[in-house]
Amino acid sequence: MEVFSCKTKIYSGAGAVQALENMHGKRLFLVTDPFFMENGVARQVAQASGAEYVEYFSDVQPDPTVALAAEGTAKLKAFSPDLIVALGGGSAMDCAKAMAYFAKLECPLVAIPTTSGSGSEVTDFAILTHEKVKHPLVDARLRPDVAILDSDLLQALPKSLIADTGFDVLTHALEAYVAKNAGVISDSFAREAFSAAYANLPASYAGRQEVRLKVHLAATMAGVAFSQAGLGLCHAMAHALGGLFHVPHGRLNAILLPAVISCNAHVAGAKYAQLARLSGLGGSADTIALRNLKNGLIRLRRELGLPETLSQAGVSPREVWANTGEIVKATLADPCCKTNPMIVEDFLVRRILEEVTGHA
């Protein structure tokens, strides 16, 4: 049985932020990070809503902590809004989603992503960090009511952010496509997301504004796919490593993904091959298509200036070795492992870790 639920109303296009007016909020609580507070975008968004009273919570840092979400929850309750807006990347959206969930308020949550990556604007997930461990909260009540995909917010995206978040999109689509809970509907979102992201990321990275909305939509479609189908080992390991070493989430996925594909190939080879052919990587035999997919991702990773190993991402092999036990434990405990197409065992995680550690 396939279960697919739709909840989030999606507005997309240049200037889509104007749709905030339709929410008729009088008391707006806006969650963002210092970058959008300082550059004035948070105020412009608040103005677009037409709200009379606005409170900003702009302390969100990458990989928000449980303590920060608790602090925000108290402020949210005290303000008692009739509209909550999350403006920013996955970190700001996850923090706002967790705050709204803990506060148990009956008001709508609007997510406005400013990176084309996490897909958090449409997912049932919010990821909080506590004592160097990333904890994915998973609950249907976390899913935003409205998502606004405004390409005007993407004009000044730094190249490294395009690369990091772009690989997050590819990983979401690819893991969702082969995940244990994948079905016909989630597959259609995963396929479209993967091929659109794979085709358009180089141009977006090169500065071509006209493809940014395509990658933004791919990020949301990948979010729809994985929210239904689940993720896999790549995300479980990225969460474990991200909690400890604070390397950007998408960058960790980029480092891990080729190794995870090889590991899952025994059971998911045919579906990987379908994605390869769909993305123009060809290969009539599944084994060839699979190899082309892996090589295509490695080439793209290089083209986007991303590291190939943890060592190249600034994590010394010594740190990895010292924490191997913790990394394996956190990976196996991560809910994303449950939907990986093959059962994840201790030795598999160790083998992948060895492959991606790199040299001192």
Ligand X SMILES: NC(=O)c1ccc[n+]([C@@H]2O[C@H](COP(=O)([O-])OP(=O)(O)OC[C@H]3O[C@@H](n4cnc5c(N)ncnc54)[C@H](O)[C@@H]3O)[C@@H](O)[C@H]2O)c1
Judged by the rule CB under 6 A, the positions of this chain that interact with ligand X are 33, 35, 62-63, 88-92, 94, 114-115, 117-120, 123, 125-127, 153-154, 156-158, 161, 165, 168, 249-250
Interface positions, 280-309, toward Fe ion (CB under 5 A):
none
CB of 212 to ligand X, least distance (A): 10
CB of 142 to ligand X, least distance (A): 8
Residues that bind Fe ion (rule: CB under 5 A) add up to a total of 1
DSSP per position, 249-306 = HHHHHHHHHHHHHHHHHHHHHHHHHHHHHHTT---SSHHHHHHHHHHHHHHHHHHTT-
- In the 8-state DSSP scheme, what is residue 308? S
Stretch of residues binding Fe ion (CB under 5 A), selected from 19-27, 56-64, 163-171, 268-276: 163-171
Burial status of residue 336 (CB atoms within 10 A of its CB: 0-12, 13-18, 19 or more):
buried
Sequence-ordered list of residues with C-beta below 8 angstroms from that of 333, at least 6 positions apart, any chain: none
Identify which of residues 33 and 192 has a Cβ nearer to ligand X in the complex: 33
What, of Fe ion, ligand X, none, does residue 153 touch, CB below 5 to 8 Å by kind? ligand X
Tokens linked to 81: 């809004």
Tally: H helices and E strands in the chain:
13, 8
Identify which of residues 220 and 292 has a Cβ nearer to ligand X in the complex: 220
Which of 254, 151, 163, 165 lies closest to 205 in space, CA to CA?
A: 163
Under rule CB under 5 A, residue 168 binds Fe ion? yes
CB of 197 to ligand X, least distance (A): 14
Identify which of residues 164 and 192 has a Cβ nearer to ligand X in the complex: 164
Identify which of residues 28 and 170 has a Cβ nearer to Fe ion in the complex: 170
CB of 324 to ligand X, least distance (A): 21
Whole-number Å distance between alpha carbons of 152 and 13: 8
What, of Fe ion, ligand X, none, does residue 339 touch, CB below 5 to 8 Å by kind? none
**Sheet-wide strand order for 109-113:** 9-12, 146-149, 109-113, 83-88, 27-31, 53-57
Identify which of residues 15 and 282 has a Cβ nearer to ligand X in the complex: 15
Identify which of residues 105 and 336 has a Cβ nearer to Fe ion in the complex: 336
CB of 83 to Fe ion, least distance (A): 27
CA dihedral in degrees (23, 29, 30, 33; nearest 10)? -160
Q: Where do contacts with Fe ion occur on this chain (CB under 5 A)?
A: 168
